[in-house]
Amino acid sequence: MEKFDIHILGCGAALPTTRHFSASQIVNVRDKLFMIDCGEGAQMQLRKTHLKFSRLNHIFISHLHGDHCFGLFGLISTFGLLGRTADLHIYSPYGLEGLFRPVLEAFCHHLPYEVFFHTFGTTEPVVICEDRSVVITTIPLRHRVPCCGFLFREKPRQNHIIREMVDFYQVPISWMHRIKNGEDYVTPEGEIISNDRLTKPASMPRSYAYCSDTMYDPEIVEQIKGIDLLFHEATFADGERGRARETYHSTASQAAAIAQAAEVKQLLLGHFSARYEDETILLREALKEFPETLLAREGMCIVVRDILPQSKS
């Protein structure tokens, strides 16, 4: 199975506690690492995962609050000390570069690599990153400052060739690409060999959405419909619904209502307020609305699983 893993580096809210670091995650798509948010301590947490720093070339910052980006200074500095030479790309709403560049120039002036800041708008979904295997799109959220989540969608994969069948029909190499893409094979004699005799279907493309920070916002449901895993902030319990509204945050049961409406396969709660010594209350409240709910915690790795499509016949 090709990797599509989420590593939780920090899942606390603005106040770090003895239990939670500030927001940061790694999405590992086939050994390419993407960082989402970079709160203070993200580099220490990343080190604990034993993932290779050199595999990380893209960092997405949801919004310009300190608990989502103050870890960038140390991370960028450390990458320099480790001799990194590959470009590092940082994507965020407008304003990060102007604030961070002078600090980096003063403290990290001999970096052996380049840091590029990219800006995205926060009112419409935009594709901010794309490679052979994944497309990353912003998810406009509603917070006190311009803010976006991020939707990771795997691209459809090619069917898997069944080696013995291809050998049996003596399919020439020149046909392989077409067969992987689902075409039937036509022999030199004109016989049609149905594709499903030559291939096994690829797994379904997987998907992950990160939605933090945001108030309850049903407008995001359409964009994340049916995804495999949704991380949604759950700063507060129901008892603090008013406080959630005031601060543009969500309660756990609001996160669950979004998961329910979007018919996602699994919900992961995070961005926990420091007031909860134990987040079981948040889990209980969410489970009432949506049974496939988990609490994030530091050091956790969630594998987004392959699901085979329904048989064609």
Q: Using CB under 8 A as the criterion, which residues of the chain lie in contact with a copy of itself when the complex forms?
A: 14-18, 21-22, 40-41, 43-44, 47-48, 64-67, 70-71, 73-74, 77-78, 81-82, 95, 99-100, 102-103, 106-108
- What is the C-alpha separation between 282 and 182, in angstroms, rounded? 46
Nearer Cβ to a copy of itself (69/262): 69
Q: Where are the beta strands (DSSP E) in 125-247?
A: 127-130, 134-140, 148-154, 160-161, 185-186, 192-193, 199-200, 207-211, 229-233
- What is the C-alpha separation between 172 and 197, in angstroms, rounded? 16
Nearer Cβ to a copy of itself (70/169): 70
Cβ at position 254, least distance to a copy of itself in Å: 22
Cβ at position 34, least distance to a copy of itself in Å: 22
Cβ at position 212, least distance to a copy of itself in Å: 17
What are the C-alpha distances in Å from 166 to residues 106, 185, 192, 197? 61, 10, 13, 9
Cβ at position 66, least distance to a copy of itself in Å: 4
Whether the Cβ atoms of residue 135 and residue 193 lie closer than 8 Å to each other: no
The residue with tokens 């960082």 is 35
Active site residue 167: no
Nearer Cβ to a copy of itself (19/265): 19
Which residue out of 67, 131, 184, 278 is catalytically annotated?
67
Query: What sections of the chain are H helices per DSSP?
Result: 42-49, 72-81, 96-107, 163-168, 176-180, 195-198, 241-246, 252-262, 280-289
| Planar angle of CA 117, 121, 124, nearest 5 degrees | 145
124 three-state secondary structure: coil
Nearer Cβ to a copy of itself (109/132): 109
Nearer Cβ to a copy of itself (257/270): 270
Cβ at position 44, least distance to a copy of itself in Å: 5
Give catalytic residue positions.
67
